[in-house]
Amino acid sequence: MQCLPEPLEAHYGGGIIRNSDFSGGLEGWSSFGYGAIAEGSSAAGNRYGVAVNRTRPYQSVSQKVYLQNDTHYTLSAWLQVSDGSADVIAVVKTNGEFIHAGGVDARSGCWTILKGGLTAAAAGPAELYFESNATVDVWVDNVSLQPFSQEEWSAHHDASIKKSRKKTVRFHAKDSSGNPVPGAQVRIDHVRNGFPLGSAMSGEILSNPAYQRWFTSRFTVTTFENEMKWYSTERVQGREDYSVPDAMMAFAKTHGISVRGHNVFWDDPNSQPAWAKWLSGDQLKRATAKRIRSVMSRYAGQVIAWDVVNENVHFSFYENKLGSEASAAFYRKSHEMDNVANMFMNDYNTLEQPGDYNAIPNKYLGKLWQIKKFPGNGNAARMAIGLEGHFTVPNMPYIRAALDTMSKANVPIWLTEIDVRKGPNQAQHLEMILREVYAHPAVHGIILWTAWHPQGCYVMCLTDNNFRNLPTGDVVDKLIQEWKTHSHAGVADDEGFYEAELFHGDYNVTVTHPVANSTVTQSLISVHRDYSPDNIFTIHV
């Protein structure tokens, strides 16, 4: 995260915030929570607001605003604290509700940006303030709260999808002598989606043909829900059993479905093999070394990714037992065992809960930097970010802001476990989330956490027990169709060129000579995020 000697200018000129840069002193600002506020200034003459002598988390600099109905608001603010570091959460009080709108780990001596947002469910007055459990002074500057209508928000999706998920591709029809073929008929048929969209898979798929047909007709990538986890493969110490994940891997391969390895370890103390919880440090060190060798030697080269230490932002079972760099050491060893797959951190609430101090974006990134700085874990270690995405009511502006922040790491980001709690708007919320994350250029793949079980799914199912779509399943099917190029035909120009805008994916291209009436089909032309527009596919017909 940036930590600057002076803050940058407020986004959108501050939006609806008055005196956003405090150039007018404290005009427009007030104290919140019976606190005291003061004006501060730097040696360079920059002016800012300060919440001083704080004894309660909510004592803050604040501003009253008026929110419009059904409007998205992006929020940003530059923050600093008087001593050390402290978690600061932006809160909007409206209609008696306190909405967490973003958070950051602020520090003394430099300014850090908080990015977030919220959606106003109803028009009315509101008050923005900044909350911190630490009793340090909180400095605030260059605040922005910018409204966007639903139409403007959707227009951004469309523009971002066009830029990030599509390519303009040129084909050149030539005859056997290498001469252009004007008027050649060109047909492009979609074969496979290029953007990885998948679902978690349960072991029930091995014996259920209906589940198999439903799954393989939709998804190109999967994560085994529980079957590869340590507590599943070694229920009794020393007695390993990979028969179920082996069979699931074989099934996935047969149907061309990529697999994410989930997981090598899980830092939650309640998610260990029962016998591992009571091992001494030395015993656990030997057991973890055996686990890495066992699972990774078995599936290296067969998976596209590993969740190496699951949820190590929230939990620290291995750090408590083996030392503060336990996770970092696991990542180094994992990369040594498989230097092709991406090595993911995987955790929850970075997108779902702006008020979770443990999971705010720069806390997550801090853990990522710690792991990458460990000897052997530089850029070559293929680190990646996994954001689970277990949502109740999604905050769309916050999701976008958090992804913007996480993208600064310049590593692949996946949504790894998306689901939405049951409620009257479950399907609508799922569609909103999927559209938001698909449109973000930093997102490289999506996994829905919807492994089917006859007794019910973890949180969200896509079908009933007869594999008829539920409303959530209809949403997924609709978007799968929307996010691919449907077959179409055209005619090459006078120089034999034909141009088409295509979603990332694999295609068959059929070209027919207008005079000789000869036809050639070129299979599996691949269009992907690294495709260069200067690359022209030449087809001889």
pLDDT in tens, 19-51: 999 999 999 999 999 999 999 999 999 999 999
Q: How far apart are CA 496 and CA 179, in angstroms?
A: 9
Residue-wise pLDDT for 202-258, tens only, equals 999 999 999 999 999 999 999 999 999 999 999 999 999 999 999 999 999 999 999
Task: Check 131, 225, 227, 311 and give the catalytic one.
Answer: 311
Q: Kindly tell me if the per-residue pLDDT of 444 is higher than 70.
A: yes
CB 115 within 8 A of CB 401: yes
Supply the pLDDT for residue 381. Answer: 78
Least confident stretch, 120-124, 209-213, 267-271, 424-428? 120-124
Supply the pLDDT for residue 378. Answer: 80
Contacting residues for 481 by C-beta, under 8 A, at least 6 apart: none
Q: Kindly tell me if the per-residue pLDDT of 487 is higher than 90.
A: no
Q: Kindly tell me if the per-residue pLDDT of 96 is higher than 90.
A: no
Alpha carbon separation from 450 to 107, 197, 348, 393, 472 (Å, rounded):
40, 12, 16, 18, 10
Q: Kindly tell me if the per-residue pLDDT of 533 is higher than 90.
A: no
Supply the pLDDT for residue 532. Answer: 84
Peptide bond into 508 cis (omega under 30): no
Tokens of 416: 């790894």
Q: Is 467 exposed, middle or buried (0-12, 13-18, 19+ CB in 10 A)?
A: middle
CB 292 within 8 A of CB 329: no
Structure confidence at residue 534 as a pLDDT band (50, 70, 90): confident
Contacting residues for 128 by C-beta, under 8 A, at least 6 apart: 17, 62, 63, 65, 75, 90, 91, 92, 101, 143, 145
Please list the residues that pair with 100 across neighbouring strands. 91
Position 497: which residue type? F
Supply the pLDDT for residue 89. Answer: 97
Q: How far apart are CA 385 and CA 399, in angstroms?
A: 15
What angle (nearest 5°) sits at the alpha carbon of residue 269, between those of residues 383 and 459? Answer: 75
Task: Check 234, 417, 431, 436 and give the catalytic one.
Answer: 417
User: Helix crossing, 281-299 with 326-337: angle to 10°?
Assistant: 30
Q: Kindly tell me if the per-residue pLDDT of 153 is higher than 70.
A: yes
Residue-wise pLDDT for 335-391, tens only, equals 999 999 999 999 999 999 999 999 999 999 999 999 999 998 987 779 999 999 999
Task: Read off the pLDDT of each residue in 66-81 and give the average, rounded to a whole number.
Answer: 97
Q: How far apart are CA 62 and CA 540, in angstroms?
A: 68
Length of the chain: 541
Tokens of 373: 């700085």
Q: Verify whether residue 227 is a known catalytic residue.
A: no
Q: How far apart are CA 139 and CA 160, in angstroms?
A: 34
DSSP 468: P
Q: Give the pairing of strands 342-347 and 383-387.
A: parallel
Q: Kindly tell me if the per-residue pLDDT of 535 is higher than 90.
A: no
HSE (CB half, 13 Å, CA atoms) of 478? 15
DSSP letter string over 67-106? EPTTEEEEEEEEEEESSSEEEEEEEEEETTEEEEEEEEEE
Mean pLDDT of the chain: 96
- Quick count: other Cβ atoms within 10 Å of Cβ 180? 15
Task: Read off the pLDDT of each residue in 508-531 and give the average, rounded to a whole number.
Answer: 90
Q: Verify whether residue 311 is a known catalytic residue.
A: yes
Percent of the chain with pLDDT over 90: 94
DSSP letter string over 191-256? EEESS-EEEEE-GGGGG-HHHHHHHHTT-SEEEESSTTSHHHH-SBTTB---HHHHHHHHHHHHTT
Q: How far apart are CA 360 and CA 352, in angstroms?
A: 10
Supply the pLDDT for residue 1. Answer: 62
Which of these, 284, 265, 383, lies nearest to 327 by C-alpha position? 265
Cα 272 vs. chain centroid, distance in angstroms?
A: 26
